[in-house]
Amino acid sequence: MSPSSVFDRLSALADPTRCRLLLLLAEHELSVSEVCAVVQLPQSTVSRHLKVLADEGWVVSRADGPSRHYRMSAGIDESGRALWAAVSGSLTDSLPAAADALRVRGVLAARVRRSREFFSTAAGEWDAVRADLFGSAADVALLGLLDDRWTVGDLGCGTGALTGQLAPYVERVVAVDASTQMLAAAKDRLADVANVDLREGDLQALPIADSDLDAAVLFLVLHYVADPAVALAEAARALRPGGRLLVVDMTPHDRADYRERMGHVWLGFAPAQLADWLAEAGLTAVRCVDLPVDPRVAGPPLFAATARRTEASATALHDTTEGTPLS
């Protein structure tokens, strides 16, 4: 610290009010109006003192809508921290500081109270408010729970929508689809995503080596597969021991027109049948959960099933060299 900056900093701390403000802002981030409520001074006075502290690098601020919030700067150098330690030590037991500490608790409690008052009146409308403000995009952030070292298989990736959502959270996504047209669309969608490996292949004969995946997803695709049991066994083969499989699909329904209009082979799946197929594939810890029904959508209800590959998986059903079913 140069001599001039020492004197500037001493000058900034020479005023008792500025020291009170800094003592507060060392512990809490507060808006100007909240600081005024705590120290019981006019806004013009508080703003003037905050400007001096900001000019000398003691505090920083951020915009929050029409307000500004202030806090003590984390970038104060060692000599500045030593100076503040010497000054603040004589302030903490003073009567003004004790009164400020009591009032700031009330200010912080008012924040909590405002939040609780909103939720006490908006509980019945909260889902609609959340959807209106954020849609479903925020839910994708839950993918952040995935391990960033994983290789994940998006089996039946279609145009790559889910692949693109998975990619930022994991090391690599192996995306497989049997449709050349779908993969072309996925390639366009994911042109700027470096950690995606697009592969053309049948879900009943995956172009993936044994134990290459940490997790695999069959998202709204199993109802297109001729033999779901074989596809699930193939997914199990591609998983490492301990790897996880997630299947999202439709519960049983009577929409027979889906066969003609969209090429569905299966009209949903019963949990018991799916559990049997997963067990035959050498997968354990099977769970099947009905997903909440969105009243705005026209399709059948969905379920999510999860399972884990054991050490002794069902690879005996398949040629592990080529990854295709044995004849």
pLDDT at 216 over 50: yes
pTM: 0.66
Query: Residue 317 has what pLDDT?
Result: 42
Question: Among 67-71, 140-144, 231-235, which stretch is predicted with the lowest mean pLDDT?
Answer: 140-144
Query: Residue 221 has what pLDDT?
Result: 92
Query: Residue 44 has what pLDDT?
Result: 95
Query: Residue 136 has what pLDDT?
Result: 67
Task: Give the whole-number percent of the chain exceeding pLDDT 70.
Answer: 88
Query: Residue 130 has what pLDDT?
Result: 66
Q: State the average pLDDT over residues 31-41.
A: 94
Query: Residue 144 has what pLDDT?
Result: 84
Grade residue 142 by pLDDT with cuts at 50, 70 and 90. confident
Grade residue 119 by pLDDT with cuts at 50, 70 and 90. low
Q: State the average pLDDT over residues 159-173.
A: 95
Query: Residue 259 has what pLDDT?
Result: 85
Query: Residue 34 has what pLDDT?
Result: 93
| Sign of the alpha-carbon dihedral angle for 245, 164, 303, 232 | negative
Say how far apart CA 96 and CA 104 lie, in whole Å.
12
Say how far apart CA 127 and CA 132 lie, in whole Å.
8
